[in-house]
A = this chain, B = another copy of it.
Amino acid sequence: MDPLFEIALEPAAKGARGLYDQIRAAILDGRLRPGARLPATRKSAAFFGVSRNTAVDAYDRLLSEGFIVARRGSGTYVTERPPLAPRVAPDPGGAPDKRLNPFWLRPDIVADIGFWRDEADSSTLPAGEPALDFRPRLVDSRLFPFELFRRASAAQLRRLERKPASYKSPQGNQGSYALRAAIVEHIGVTRAVVCRADDLIITSGAQQAFDLLARTLVTPGKSVVAIEDPGYPPMRVAFAAAGAKLAPVAIDAEGLVVDQIPPGAAVICVCPSHQFPLGVAMSARRRAALLAFARRTGAVIIEDDYDGEFRFDGGSLAALRTADAADQVCYVGTFSKCMLPALRLGFIVAPGWAVRTLTAAKNCLDWHCPTPVQAGVATFIAEGHLMRHVRKMREVYRARRALLLDRLGRDFGAWLAPVPSCYGMHVAAAARAALDFDAVAEGLAGRGVKLHSFSRYYLGAPAAEGVIFGYGVVDLGEIERGLALLRRALAG
């Protein structure tokens, strides 16, 4: 046993949470002094009765929060000047602050933009039990070829050095030409979307694309924006924030119910390949009706193609944005699913009439995305790494999806019916029986299973009940374990 533990830490508070909390508290109150060397993670793991990985995670968190530093080949030390204890922001509980735009204080907006808020909850889990995370739209970064990306980035950073200043001044533009050219090739191959580099606007992920489109296409207080219901809550926040009047439109087995779109809708947001979150692919008939509507009324269609790279059997429909529809459709793509959300890169394939204004608005938002990231991703695509990674991940997801659908069919027939889909990284399953899936999901959360029920995705009253099984970060074993826990919960 390392003597440090005996001096500085209370052996009472064991477990994963104890490990992080104890070391942090000991640093803050001075029991562990600046410069003190921490025991190896192996020893900490043994002392706290947790797995080595758990100890590594706790050390990583302390490292990223600035409490400890790692010196290569020499160990881990308490920093010379530990950060101040984080202060918890006071809950606005009382009267809202009058200095703030009241929009952001609306409870529905707070809930919708807080969509990912349960994110950090895993730290409250019992020791040794990693979360089984079935939330959709998550990506397992441990499968990402970091070494290749690092090399691509470093090479690009080296090129930046030789450029004179004005090339990199905060000028407004649509994004790096090299990246736009690479995207043209990529979406041509993976999505049969044919466009030119000049049709593209690089954005900070799909979320900024939504915000940018909302701000350029919506006239505040006037424009009606039709959205899918259920849909992706943070997307509707972007449109609401821009002053749009949201018009929720139902989804059926053929996708968006086009007949329900209000005649005066200026914008229609839709995920035709893989409806979020239900997973339905929009039928050919509906696509034709939607495009005809847009041509007739002048409405603009926003196609959110968030996981279009991952297409499985049975999917014959490509993107809605074909060459014929180029004037009606703003196509939104993202590198958050096929690479990593942490890169914050996405793009819009925009109609010619919108490019100039989208560029001006992007300049107002933040000029452009960071050059090193744009350059790194451009090289990563151009050298073929992205296609190789997509092919690899497609097989990983195919296996997870197959297992999930098999088990749902075999063990959950009484409760759940999977919604047919042919793309992506999640499967939705609708309730067969009248069951409170919110309560089921809440109960499972306490056991470390993160599973979303349908309800949080609805803007209007939920028209269906069920659950979403995202398989971006759960491997085959975790899928089995999670489903076993769900089955137990359903069987009551």
- Pair A168/B196 contact, Cβ less than 8 Å: no
- Pair B166/A133 contact, Cβ less than 8 Å: yes
- Pair B198/A86 contact, Cβ less than 8 Å: yes
On chain A, the number of residues with a Cβ less than 8 Å from chain B's Cβ atoms is 126
Contacts of A410 in B (CB 8 A): none
- Pair A170/B207 contact, Cβ less than 8 Å: yes
Contacts of A159 in B (CB 8 A): 60, 63-64
Q: How many copies does the complex hold?
A: 2
Bound-state Cα–Cα, A238 to B344, Å: 22
Of A99, A154, A368, A373, the most chain B CB neighbours within 10 A belong to: A99
Find the B residue at minimum CB distance from A177.
Answer: B65
Contacts of A158 in B (CB 8 A): 146, 150
Tell me, yes or no, whether A473 is within 8 Å of chain B by CB. yes
- Pair B356/A89 contact, Cβ less than 8 Å: yes
Bound-state Cα–Cα, A241 to B60, Å: 41
- A178-B64, A366-B205 given; A266·B56 CB < 8 A: no
Find the B residue at minimum CB distance from A67.
Answer: B181
Contacts of A144 in B (CB 8 A): 161
- Pair A196/B113 contact, Cβ less than 8 Å: no
Stretch binding the partner chain, chosen from A20-28, A215-223, A398-406, A438-446: A215-223
Bound-state Cα–Cα, A97 to B114, Å: 35
Pick from B154, B223, B352, B473: contact of A154, CB below 8 A. B154
Find the B residue at minimum CB distance from A377.
Answer: B370
Contacts of A90 in B (CB 8 A): 352
Bound-state Cα–Cα, A238 to B360, Å: 11
With both chains docked as a complex, state the minimum distance between the C-beta of A244 and any C-beta of chain B, in angstroms: 10
Contacts of A491 in B (CB 8 A): none
Tell me, yes or no, whether A98 is within 8 Å of chain B by CB. yes
- Pair B160/A342 contact, Cβ less than 8 Å: yes
Q: Which residues 145-175 in A have Cβ within 8 Å of B in the complex? A: 146, 149-150, 153-154, 157-166, 168-172
Bound-state Cα–Cα, A100 to B158, Å: 40
Contacts of A373 in B (CB 8 A): 370, 372-373
- Pair B216/A361 contact, Cβ less than 8 Å: no
Tell me, yes or no, whether A300 is within 8 Å of chain B by CB. yes
- Pair A66/B181 contact, Cβ less than 8 Å: yes
Tell me, yes or no, whether A455 is within 8 Å of chain B by CB. no
Bound-state Cα–Cα, A360 to B116, Å: 11
- Pair A170/B217 contact, Cβ less than 8 Å: no
- A181-B83, A366-B205, A373-B372 given; A138·B116 CB < 8 A: no
Pick from B117, B215, B345: contact of A172, CB below 8 A. B117
Find the B residue at minimum CB distance from A472.
Answer: B165
With both chains docked as a complex, state the minimum distance between the C-beta of A330 and any C-beta of chain B, in angstroms: 10
Given contacts A64-B159, A146-B158, 8 further A-B contacts (CB under 8 A): A83-B184, A100-B353, A101-B357, A109-B360, A142-B162, A165-B472, A220-B220, A243-B243
